Structure 1
Amino acid sequence: MSGNSLGTLFCVTSFGESHGPAIGCVVDGCPPGLAISEADIQAELDRRKPGTSRHVTQRREPDAVEILSGVFEGVTTGTPIALLIRNQDQRSKDYGNIAESFRPGHADYGYWQKYGIRDHRGGGRSSARETAVRVAAGAIARKWLFERFGVVIRGYMAQLGPIEIPFASWDEVDGNAFFAPNQAIVPQLESYMDDLRKSGDSVGARINVVATGVPVGWGEPVYDRLDADIAYAMMSINAVKGVEIGAGFASVSQLGTQHSDEMSPEGFLSNESGGVLGGISTGQDILVSMAIKPTSSTRLDRQSINKAGEAVVVNTHGRHDPCVGIRATPIAESMLAIVLMDHALRHRAQNADVECPTPRIAGLAPGARQSVPSPRSKD
């Protein structure tokens, strides 16, 4: 199966299935000398892992990461870093009733038609279980970006189904199960999810991600634009159906005088571009928003077909997230980190000795309008 690697110089290749013995990845291209430990990676994995609240799948996986190679005496060696996460709470019997049929909205039918065989246990390779290794790889990228450039990457849930979540503070994001930046709205989110779970249905979400401290100049025009690679990475996440950079689709109704980010000696006067112009970072915050569809697996009856092409009724009684967006924030953060680190290394390889005589302006001028808030530094 091709298509399992992401990145050019910082390359992540993942492997494993939802109900196999383990999932994992190989991270190739990480520079030597980065202090990294299993505890560093585990801290990010714990934010994503299942079973953390009543609003997500109750599959109990510790998601304990093992570093198999590429780290010696606590620092990276420059050789491939192999990471392994063993699966410990599979219940494959939950999927026995769909072995011969296809779940509507899921990857079952496409996999069957493409390969002539599919792993029906939890979706196999197409399961969101695979995203755990992205978070593990992203933890390495996040630490390198922060230590080398001071880049901080943060995300939050901006909308759950019909409920828009006003941004209050980054301090509130990790204090609730939804990664909501507003603690006051959490009771409403909990009530909505409790009713949804009882109904057996599912719902989508919007996740926003912000990277601050990104230097100007990252990105490889024309086909490897920074925003294009970000969109590519985000669209590779399970259930993501739309990605916006900066103003995104709102730019359709904007005038040119509204959308163009004016500049002053003190910095840009707005950030409608989302920190990328012409595929190259501007030094402003990178602003990304993504739409996540409702979970396809529900216990409600849905019309479908089986392998013989006969009409059947399908319902799924395994352990599923009624909203996969609830655990998507750490995944989106990690994917952005992987792309940014790859472009940081690519820029360093070709353009490290470039000196531009024009002074570089700051990201945003004091009092300038920012479409989504910037995160505070973690240190």
Structure 2
Amino acid sequence: MSGNTLGTLFRVTNFGESHGPAIGCVVDGCPPGLALSEADIQIELDRRRPGTSRHVTQRQESDRVEILSGVFEGHTTGTPIGLLIRNIDARSKDYSNIAETFRPGHADYSYFKKYGVRDPRGGGRSSARLTAPTVAAGAIAKKWLRENFGTQVRGYMSALGPIPLDFVSWEHVETNPFFAADPSRVQELEEYMDALRKAGDSVGARIEVIAEGVPVGWGAPIYDRLDADIAHAMMGLNAVKGVEIGAGFRSVAQRGSEHGDEMTPDGFLTNNAGGVLGGISTGQPVCVSLAIKPTSSIRTERRSVDKAGQAVMVQTLGRHDPCVGIRATPIAEALLALVLADHALLDRALCGTVLRR
């Protein structure tokens, strides 16, 4: 199976299954000399970890990361960094009733038709469980970017289903399970999720992720555009059905006099471009917005077919997030950091001798 590696110079290869003995990744291309410990990675994994509130899956995984290679005496060596996360709370029997059927909206059908075989336990490779190694790799990229360029990558939830959420302050994002930047709406969100869970249904979300301190000049025209690579990476996140850079679809209704970001000797006046022009970073914050669909695994019975093509009714048991978007913020941050780290190295390789005024 191809399609498990992200990046050109800063490369991450993801492996494992939701209910296998372990999941993990290999980070190849991280420059040597970066101070790195398991604690640096664990802090990000704990933000994504399941079972942290009643609003997400109650699968109890500690997500303790092990560094297997690429670090000596507390610093990266430039060799591949092997990261391992052991699965300790898989309940494969929860999926025995869907082994021969396909869940609507899930990858079961397409996986089986493509490969002729599928792992029904927790969705196998299609499970959001496989985002944990992405977050682990992203923790390395985040630290390298921060120490070398002062780049900071942060995200927040801007909508939970039909409920829009305003941005108030970054300081509030880590104080609630929704990564919401408006603390006044948290109780409303909790009540909404409680009702949704009792109804056996699910809902989507919108996530904003912003990278500040991105130098001008990262990216390239045409096929290696920074924004194209960001969209490619974000669409690799489970349940993402839409990606916007800057104004995104709002630009359809904007006029050119409004959308084009005017410049002054002191800098840009607006940021409708989302920090990218012609596929190259402008030095402004890189702003990305994600649309995440409702969780496909729900308790409500729905019509489907089995492997023989016969009509069946499907009800998904087990432990699932009523809204996968609740834990998506750390994952989106990780993906943006990975793309930026890759482009930082690509820019250094191509334009390391260019004097930028």
Q: Give TM class, smaller chain.
A: over 0.9
CA shift, 1:119, in A, is 0.1
Deviations 1:115-160, CA, capped at 9 Å, x for gaps: 1000000000000000000000000000000000000000000000
Q: Which segment drifts farther, 58-67 or 220-229?
A: 220-229
CA shift, 1:222, in A, is 1.5
Deviations 1:198-235, CA, capped at 9 Å, x for gaps: 00000000000000000000002210100000000000
Q: Give the match's secondary structure for 1:31.
A: coil
CA shift, 1:78, in A, is 0.2
- Matched AA of 2:184: A
Equivalent position of 1:365 in the other structure: none
How do residues 314-353 of structure 1 correspond to structure 2 at under 5 angstroms? Answer: 314-353=314-353
CA distance in 2, matches of 1:221, 1:68: 37
Deviations 1:6-59, CA, capped at 9 Å, x for gaps: 000000000000000000000000000000000000000000000000000000
Equivalent position of 1:129 in the other structure: 129
Question: Runs of 4 or more off by more than 2 Å in structure 1?
Answer: none
CA distance in 2, matches of 1:254, 1:194: 38
Q: Give the match's secondary structure for 2:224.
A: coil
How do residues 1-379 of structure 1 correspond to structure 2 at under 5 angstroms? Answer: 1-356=1-356, 359=357
Q: TM-score with structure 2 length normalisation?
A: 1.00
- Matched AA of 1:225: R
CA distance in 1, matches of 2:324, 2:239: 8
CA distance in 1, matches of 2:354, 2:250: 35
CA distance in 1, matches of 2:51, 2:237: 20
Q: Give the match's secondary structure for 1:270.
A: coil
Identity of aligned residues (%): 73
Q: Give the match's secondary structure for 1:100.
A: coil
- Matched AA of 1:195: A
| Pairwise CA RMSD | 0.5
Q: Give the match's secondary structure for 2:222.
A: coil
Equivalent position of 1:377 in the other structure: none
CA distance in 2, matches of 1:299, 1:355: 59
- Matched AA of 1:286: V
CA distance in 2, matches of 1:27, 1:222: 27
CA distance in 1, matches of 2:329, 2:166: 16
- Matched AA of 2:79: T
Deviations 1:95-116, CA, capped at 9 Å, x for gaps: 0000000000000000100010
CA distance in 1, matches of 2:67, 2:153: 23
CA distance in 1, matches of 2:355, 2:330: 36
Please, which runs of 5 or more residues in structure 1 have no aligned partner?
360-379
- Matched AA of 1:18: S
CA distance in 2, matches of 1:262, 1:353: 29
CA distance in 1, matches of 2:171, 2:340: 24
- Matched AA of 1:168: V
CA shift, 1:310, in A, is 0.1
CA distance in 2, matches of 1:77, 1:349: 19
CA distance in 1, matches of 2:40, 2:31: 17
CA distance in 2, matches of 1:244, 1:125: 26
Q: Give the match's secondary structure for 1:289.
A: strand
Deviations 1:270-315, CA, capped at 9 Å, x for gaps: 0000000000000000000000000000000000000010000000
CA distance in 2, matches of 1:221, 1:10: 20
CA distance in 2, matches of 1:349, 1:74: 26
- Matched AA of 1:174: E
CA distance in 2, matches of 1:289, 1:125: 25
Deviations 1:227-273, CA, capped at 9 Å, x for gaps: 00000000000000000000000000000000000000000010000
